[in-house]
Structure 1
Amino acid sequence: MQRFILSKKNQITFISGILIVLGFIAHFGFENVGLFNAAFILASILGVIPIAIQAISALKVKVVSIDLLVTIAVIGAFFIQNYEESAIVTFLFLFGAWLEARTLNQTRSAIKELTDMAPEVALKQNEKGEFAEVDIWDVDEGDTLLVKTGAKVPVDGTVLIGEGHINEASITGEAVPVSKIKDSEVFAGTILENGTLQIQADRVGEDTTFGKIIELVEEAQDSKSEAERFIDRFSKWYTPTVLVLSLIVWFISKDIELAITILVLGCPGALVIGVPVSNVSGIGNGAKNGILLKGSEVINDFSKVDSIVFDKTGTLTIGNPEVAESKTYGEANRALSYLASIEAESDHPLGKAIVADLGEIERYTVEETEVVKGGGIIAQVDGHRVAVGNVALMEQENVSLNQEVLTDIKKYEKNGNSLVLTAVDGKLNVLMGIRDQVRKGVKEDLQELKNLGVKNLIVLSGDNQGTVDLVANELGLTEAHGHMLPEDKSAYIEKLQAEGQIVAFVGDGVNDSPSLALADIGIAMGSGTDVAIETSDVVLMNSDFSRLPHALGLTKATARNMMQNILIAIGVVLVLLVSVFFSDWMNMSIGMLVHEGSILVVILNGMRLLKYRLKGNRQETSTEVITERVS
C-alpha cells in the first residue's frame, strides 16, 4: 500500500492543487466556509500521507529527515484548525519534490542522448551466408554484420568488404563524413551515409564505445563530492536541531503556531538539492563536449589544480613522425623515386613518414637489400647503389658532404629532427628532417590554461633534452625535462605534491599509467591505451587537446556554482528564521513558498552549467558526446 501511494505522488500533488483552488473559489466566490474547510482538510490529508510515509521510512533507519519536520508541522497546523496553511505546505512540498525529480532527469540528458543514439538491431550473417535482422544483444564478437546506407553501425568493428562514408559526429564531433575501406575501424552508433559495408564485430554490447561511455557517465553522475557528503552529514544534525529548537520555542512561548512555523521554515530543501544538481549538470556538460569526468570528487580536485604535467609524444605532439623539412641536391627526381621504393618495404616509423610525404611517385623494384644496424639501408634499385640512413651511414659509404650539406644538417638537428639522407652511387641527393609535430592550436590552449590560473605547465618526456627543449620553447612551457623513464616521471610528480602543489598529469601511453594514477588528477587522451584511460580521472575523447581548457573552466564553474547554491540555501533559511521573530508578515505558507522558490533558484542556477562554454575558446562547443576509443 505504501509503495502504491508513493508511486502516485504526482497525481496526489495535482489533486491537492485542484482542491486548494476549489477551496479558494468557494471562499472568495461563494463565501461558503464549509466547502472551503472541507477542500483544505481533504487536501491536507491527501498531501501529508506520502510525506509521512517517507518520514517513517527514514526513522526506521535512524534518520530524522526533512519529511518529518513537514509532517509534524502539517499535523500541528491541522489540529490548531489552520487548514489553509496545512494544505498549502503539503502541496508546495510535494510540488518541490516533483520539480527536483524532473530537473535532475533533464540534467541527466547526456545519458539519454547516448542511449537514443545506440543501435538496437543488426543484420547478422547466418550459417547459410544470408543476412537476417537480429537484436543487438544477439551479436557476438567475430560475427559478420551488414551495414546499409542510412543505417547505424551496430558494434565497434573492422571493415571486411566494401567502401563507404560514415558520419561520425556522434563519436568524434566532426560533421565531415569519414571514408571507410577494408580494414578501417568503425564505431557503434555512427551512421553510414552512403555505400555498403560488411564488418567484423570486435566489441559488442556494453564493451562498445557507447557501452563504456554510458557506464562512465552514469558512475560519475551517481558519485558524491566532498560537498555532498558534508551536506549529508550536516542534514543528519541540522534536522533534529530544528526540531529541538521548535520544541524549546513552544515550551517558552506556549505559542504552538510559532513552533510549527519554525519547523516549516527550517526545512533545508534547497541545500539538499543544490549541490547534486550542480554536479550532475557539470558532468552532463562535459559528456556533451567530449570530456569524461569520472565522478563528482574529480570536479572538486580538478578545479584547484595549479600545476599540469604533460607527456610529450601523443599529448603535446601528434605522436606520428612527419617530414618537417627536406632539401634536394642536384638532379633528385630519380633519387626520390628510389627512396620511396625502398621505404615502401619498411615498417619503420620514419620510413612510413617518408612514404606518406612523397605520395604517388614512380616506384622501382628493390633488390639486394642490406640493413645496416644503427645506420640505415643499402639497396640495389634500377641498377644503382642507393644508401638511405643517417650521417654515419653516409660516411661509411664515402659520400661526400660539402659545407652546404653540413650547414643544413646542423640546422635540421637544431630544429629537433631525425635525419634521413639518401645517396645514389655515392652522391648525396636528398636530405630529410623528420620529427613529431606539435598538435595544432596547442599553444593557444596552453595560454587558456594559464588564463584559468594554472601556474606551472611542465613537460616530462623520454625523448632527448634538446628535442624536449624545442617543444617547450615553442609552446612557452614553464619547465621541460627529457630522458625521463616512467619511474622518473612518478618521482617528479611526488616531488611537486610534497611541495604542496595540486598536480594534474596528461598522458596517453602505458608508460604514463603510473603517473596518471599518482597525480591528484590523471587526464588521459581518448585515443591512448586502455590502461591509461582506466587509471585516469578525466578522459579527453578523440584526443582533442582543445577540450582541456574547457574541462578546467567547467570544473571551476561547477565548483563556484555549488558554493553559490549552498550560500543561497543557507541564506534563505537564516532570513526566514529571523523573520519569524522580527516581523509580523511571516507565516507557514509564505515560508514554504519562499522555500520552494529557493529550490527553483538553485535548480536553475545549477542548470546554467549545461550551457557553459569557455569564453574565448577557439573551438565551437559540440552538442554531441565525443570519443575516439574507450574500450
Structure 2
Amino acid sequence: MNRFRKWVYGNWFVPVVSGVLIVISFAIRRLAGGAADLALGPQWWLDAGAHATHAAAVFTLADVLMLAAAVIAGYRIVVTAVRALIARVIGIDLLVSIAAIGAVIIGNFWEAAAVTFLFAIGHALEAATMNKTRSALAELVAVAPDTAVVVRDGKQLEIPAGQVRMGEIVLVKNGAKVPVDGQVVSGTGSIDEASITGESILVEKSESDQVFAGTVSRGGFLQVTATGIGADTTLARIIHRVEEAQDAKARTQAFMDRFSAWYTPAVMVLALVAGLITGDVVLALTLLVIGCPGALVISIPVAIVAGIGRAARNGILIKGGEFLETSAKISAVAVDKTGTLTEGRPVLTDINVLDPAMHRTDVLAWAAAAEAGSEHPLARPILQTAHDEGVAPAGVPGAVTPVPGKGIVSAVDGGRVLIGNAPLLDEYGVRDDGRAAQAADELASDGKTPMIVAVDDRVIGVIGVADRIRQDAPEMVARLHRAGVEKVVMLTGDTRLVAEAVGRAAGIDEIHASQLPEDKLDAVAGLQRAGHTIAMVGDGVNDAPALATADIGVAMGAAGSAVAVETADIALMGDNLLKLPEAIGLAKRTVAVMRQNIVIALVTVALLLAGVFAGGVTMSLGMLVHEASVLVVIANAMRLLRNAQGSTAMPKSARTIADAGETAGLPGSPVL
C-alpha cells in the first residue's frame, strides 16, 4: 500500500495515466471507424442514420478521454504557472498552460493532450535524471553510519551513531563503518577512505592516527576516541558543502535566468502578434509551445550538478557553480612549497657548531627548546632528534614570536633564542662573522633547508633539514600543463638555492624565493595583472593573503580540517597533488558541456520556429522535438558522471635532495 501511494505521488503517475487515456481514446476512434466500415453493406442507406448516431457517440467518448488526458497531465502545469504568476515570474509552465487551454477552447483535444502529456514526461525524466546527477550526494548520504559500538561502564553497547558522546571510546571492527571522527588510541587496522578522499587504496591506521566517519574497516581492530560526532564529522560537512554547491548558480546560469525572464514574455508577444496578423489561432498556440526554453533552462544546472557530483565522488569539493566556472579559466597555478610540493615530513640532517664553547648536543638542545612552542613542520624533526638523543626540552618556551618570512624568536631560561635565516639576525642586531652565512649557503646548495641558531647576541650553529619531494609533484605540473595551465609558479619563503632545487625536481616554470606573506600576495596580484586567472594552493595560514587574492583558493588534505572544507573554493580531501589537475580538467569539461547544451537548446528552438513559419511543424510535433532536446541536453551533461581519462595513480619513485643532490625536492624553511 505504501509503495502504491509513493508511486501515485511520484513523478511518473501523471504521465502514465495520461498516456493510458490517450491510447484508449485512439483505440476507441479506430474501433469505431472499423465498426462503421463493417456496417456498410448493400443496404447501407437504409440504416445510415443509426450508424451516424452511434459513431457520434463513440467519437464523443474518445474526445472526453482525450480531454481527460489533457486535464490530468496539465493540472500540475497550470497550478505551477499560477503560483509563478503570483510570485511575478513568467515561466515555461505558463507558455504550455496557455497553449493547452487554447487548444481545448478551439476543440483540438489531441494537441492539448499531446502537449501536456509530453511536457509531463519531460518533467518526470528531468527529475529522474537530476536525481541521477545528484547520485554522488546520495552515495555520501548512504555511507553515513547508522550504529556504533561504544564502551560504557566496561561493557560494549551498540547504539545509534548519533548518540555517541564526545570523548567516548568507539570500537571499530573488521567490516564495520567508522561511526565518528576520532583518534586511534589502540589497535591497528586498514581503512577504506574512498568515501572521503576518493582514493581506493587502503590506509593503515595505528595509535594517534585520525579516522573519519563513513570510512570502512577492511581489517584489524581499532579503539577510537570520538572527536567529532553527528553534524561535526567530516562526512557531514562534505554532504552539507555538496548540497550547497550543487544548488549554487554559476555566472552563466544567472545570466540564462535573466535571459529567460525576458525571453518567455517575448515568445508570448510573438505568438500574440502572429495570431493577430494571420488570424490563425493554432499558429499562435504552436509558437507558444515551440518557443518553450526548457532545454535552455535545464542546460546549465544539470551540468553543474553533474560536474560537482563527479568531483565530490573523487574527493574534490568545489564550492559552487561560480567557482567551477572560474576554475575552467585557470591559466596559472601558484603553489606553496612546504607540505605542498614536498611531503612536509622533513628530517634533521646536519648540525654545524660555530661556537667553540658549544657541543653538537648543545646546539640541538637550544634549537629544540626554541622550537618547542612552534607549530611549523620543521620544528618536528628538530624535536624528534632531540628526543632521540636525550636532550629534549623539559617544558615549553616562555614566549614564541613568529617573524614572518624570517623565523621565530623564543624566550628560553631567561635568554633569547633566534632560529631562522640571516635577515632574522639583522633584524635583532646579532652580528655574524660570515661563517653562519657560508654554512647556510653550503647546506642550501646541497638541497637542504638551513636554519641559523643564535642565543642572545651570538651565533652558536647552523642546522640543516631535508624533506622528500612528493612523488606526484612532477606529474602534477605536467598534467597541469596538459590541462591548459600556462604557468606553474612556486612561492616560498625559503632561500633561492633551496627553492631552485625543488623547482628543478618538480618542473616548476617560475620560482619566487625568500617570500614574505605580503610578497606572495604581490606575486599573485602581479600574475592577475598580467591577465592570468590564478589558483593558489597553500596551507591557509601564512599564505592567507595570497589565497584571498587568488581567483581560486585550493586547500590540500582538507579531510581533517573543518575550516578548509567550509572556506576553500576547492578542497582536495586527500593528500594527492594529482587531484588538482583533475579538478581543473573536470571544470573545463563541465563548462564545455554547458556551452554545448546552450547551443543545442538555441538551435532547436530556432529550427522549430523556422519550421512553424514554413509550415509542417504542428503543436504536438514541436513539443515532441522540444522534449527530445531536453533529453539530449540531460544526456550530454550526464557524460560528466563518467570518470575522466587519465589516472591519479602516483609515480613509483621518490627521492630526497639529500640523497639525490640537486635533482630532488625538499621542504620549506622555518619562515614559510
TM-score (norm 1): 0.81
Instruction: For residue 182 of structure 1, report the CA deviation from its aligned partner.
Output: 2.9
Specify whether residues 533 and 191 from structure 1 end up closer, same or farther in structure 2 by C-alpha distance, changes over 3 A only: closer
Q: What SS does the aligned partner of 1:189 have?
A: coil
Q: Aligned partners of 1:310 and 1:96: how far apart in 2?
A: 46
Matched, 1:78 2:133: no
TM-superposition CA deviations, 1:176-220 (whole Å, max 9, x none): 543333323221112233333322110111111101111111111
Query: Which residue, out of 7, 19, 25, partners 1:23?
Result: 25
Q: Which residue of 2 aligns with 1:601?
A: 632
Matched, 1:568 2:600: yes
Specify whether residues 466 and 36 from structure 1 end up closer, same or farther in structure 2 by C-alpha distance, changes over 3 A only: same
Instruction: For residue 288 of structure 1, report the CA deviation from its aligned partner.
Output: 1.1
Relative to structure 2, which stretch is displaced further, 535-544 or 289-298? 535-544
Instruction: For residue 566 of structure 1, report the CA deviation from its aligned partner.
Output: 0.6
Q: Which residue of 2 aligns with 1:454?
A: 485
Instruction: For residue 259 of structure 1, report the CA deviation from its aligned partner.
Output: 0.7
TM-superposition CA deviations, 1:149-194 (whole Å, max 9, x none): 3221110111233333333333344445433333232211122333
Matched, 1:207 2:232: yes
Instruction: For residue 412 of structure 1, report the CA deviation from its aligned partner.
Output: 5.6
TM-superposition CA deviations, 1:66-106 (whole Å, max 9, x none): 11111111111112221111111110001101111111111
Matched, 1:580 2:582: no
The answer (yes or no) to whether the contact 1:513–1:531 under 8 Å persists in 2 is: no
TM-superposition CA deviations, 1:264-299 (whole Å, max 9, x none): 101111001111010001001111112111000001
Matched, 1:41 2:73: no
Query: Which residue, out of 437, 443, 450, partners 2:474?
Result: 443
Correspondence 1:486-525 to 2 at 5 A: 486-525=517-556
The answer (yes or no) to whether the contact 1:52–1:68 under 8 Å persists in 2 is: yes
Specify whether residues 158 and 222 from structure 1 end up closer, same or farther in structure 2 by C-alpha distance, changes over 3 A only: same
Instruction: For residue 322 of structure 1, report the CA deviation from its aligned partner.
Output: 3.9
Specify whether residues 487 and 532 from structure 1 end up closer, same or farther in structure 2 by C-alpha distance, changes over 3 A only: farther
- Provide the alpha-carbon RMSD of the alignment: 3.8
Query: Which residue, out of 627, 641, 644, partners 1:613?
Result: 644
Specify whether residues 418 and 68 from structure 1 end up closer, same or farther in structure 2 by C-alpha distance, changes over 3 A only: closer
Relative to structure 2, which stretch is displaced further, 458-467 or 91-100? 458-467
Q: Aligned partners of 1:510 and 1:208: how far apart in 2?
A: 22
Q: Aligned partners of 2:368 and 2:143: how far apart in 1?
A: 41
Q: Which residue of 2 aligns with 1:469?
A: 500
Q: Aligned partners of 1:51 and 1:218: how far apart in 2?
A: 27
Specify whether residues 459 and 287 from structure 1 end up closer, same or farther in structure 2 by C-alpha distance, changes over 3 A only: same
Q: Which residue of 1 aligns with 2:271?
A: 246
Q: Which residue of 2 aligns with 1:537?
A: 569
Return the letter of the residue paired with 1:31: G
Q: Which residue of 2 aligns with 1:54?
A: 80
The answer (yes or no) to whether the contact 1:271–1:569 under 8 Å persists in 2 is: yes
Query: Which residue, out of 307, 310, 315, partners 2:335?
Result: 310
Q: Aligned partners of 1:248 and 1:171: how far apart in 2?
A: 57
Q: Aligned partners of 1:171 and 1:40: how far apart in 2?
A: 52
Matched, 1:557 2:606: no
Q: Aligned partners of 1:312 and 1:171: how far apart in 2?
A: 25
Q: Aligned partners of 2:506 and 2:598: how far apart in 1?
A: 40
Instruction: For residue 434 of structure 1, report the CA deviation from its aligned partner.
Output: 4.0
TM-superposition CA deviations, 1:526-560 (whole Å, max 9, x none): 24865555442001111210011111111111111
The answer (yes or no) to whether the contact 2:540–2:547 under 8 Å persists in 1 is: no
Specify whether residues 532 and 464 from structure 1 end up closer, same or farther in structure 2 by C-alpha distance, changes over 3 A only: farther
Q: Aligned partners of 1:16 and 1:367: how far apart in 2?
A: 80
Q: Which residue of 2 aligns with 1:94?
A: 120
TM-superposition CA deviations, 1:444-481 (whole Å, max 9, x none): 22122112222221111111121112222222322211
Q: Which residue of 1 aligns with 2:219?
A: 194
Q: What SS does the aligned partner of 1:320 have?
A: coil
Q: What SS does the aligned partner of 2:604 have?
A: helix
Q: Aligned partners of 1:572 and 1:325: how far apart in 2?
A: 70
Q: Identity across aligned pairs (percent)?
A: 44
Return the letter of the residue paired with 1:54: T
Specify whether residues 352 and 246 from structure 1 end up closer, same or farther in structure 2 by C-alpha distance, changes over 3 A only: closer
TM-superposition CA deviations, 1:398-424 (whole Å, max 9, x none): xxxxxxxxx99987642321479xxxx
TM-superposition CA deviations, 1:29-53 (whole Å, max 9, x none): 4527524323211111222211111
Matched, 1:268 2:270: no
Correspondence 1:131-530 to 2 at 5 A: 131-322=156-347, 413-418=444-449, 434-527=465-558
Return the letter of the residue paired with 1:152: K
Q: Aligned partners of 1:202 and 1:157: how far apart in 2?
A: 5
Q: Aligned partners of 2:88 and 2:519: how far apart in 1?
A: 51
Specify whether residues 567 and 517 from structure 1 end up closer, same or farther in structure 2 by C-alpha distance, changes over 3 A only: same
The answer (yes or no) to whether the contact 2:197–2:314 under 8 Å persists in 1 is: no
Instruction: For residue 135 of structure 1, report the CA deviation from its aligned partner.
Output: 1.7
Q: What SS does the aligned partner of 1:318 have?
A: coil
Specify whether residues 26 and 324 from structure 1 end up closer, same or farther in structure 2 by C-alpha distance, changes over 3 A only: farther
Q: Aligned partners of 2:290 and 2:119: how far apart in 1?
A: 12
Q: Aligned partners of 2:366 and 2:493: how far apart in 1?
A: 29
Instruction: For residue 616 of structure 1, report the CA deviation from its aligned partner.
Output: 7.0
The answer (yes or no) to whether the contact 2:300–2:597 under 8 Å persists in 1 is: yes
Q: What SS does the aligned partner of 1:246 have?
A: helix
- Ranges in structure 1 where 5+ consecutive residues have no aligned partner: 327-338, 358-362, 375-388, 391-406, 421-430, 621-631
Q: Aligned partners of 1:413 and 1:82: how far apart in 2?
A: 86
The answer (yes or no) to whether the contact 2:517–2:543 under 8 Å persists in 1 is: yes
Specify whether residues 90 and 324 from structure 1 end up closer, same or farther in structure 2 by C-alpha distance, changes over 3 A only: farther
Instruction: For residue 582 of structure 1, report the CA deviation from its aligned partner.
Output: 1.2
Return the letter of the residue paired with 1:459: M
Specify whether residues 341 and 161 from structure 1 end up closer, same or farther in structure 2 by C-alpha distance, changes over 3 A only: farther
TM-superposition CA deviations, 1:563-602 (whole Å, max 9, x none): 110110011001100111113x210111000000000000
TM-score (norm 2): 0.76
The answer (yes or no) to whether the contact 1:51–1:71 under 8 Å persists in 2 is: yes
Return the letter of the residue paired with 1:549: P
Instruction: For residue 325 of structure 1, report the CA deviation from its aligned partner.
Output: 10
Q: What SS does the aligned partner of 1:85 have?
A: helix
Instruction: For residue 303 of structure 1, report the CA deviation from its aligned partner.
Output: 0.8
Q: Aligned partners of 2:643 and 2:174: how far apart in 1?
A: 36
Q: Aligned partners of 2:650 and 2:309: how far apart in 1?
A: 19
Q: Which residue of 1 aligns with 2:149?
A: 123
- Ranges in structure 2 where 5+ consecutive residues have no aligned partner: 1-5, 35-57, 352-362, 395-406, 408-418, 421-437, 452-461, 652-672
Q: What SS does the aligned partner of 2:184 have?
A: strand
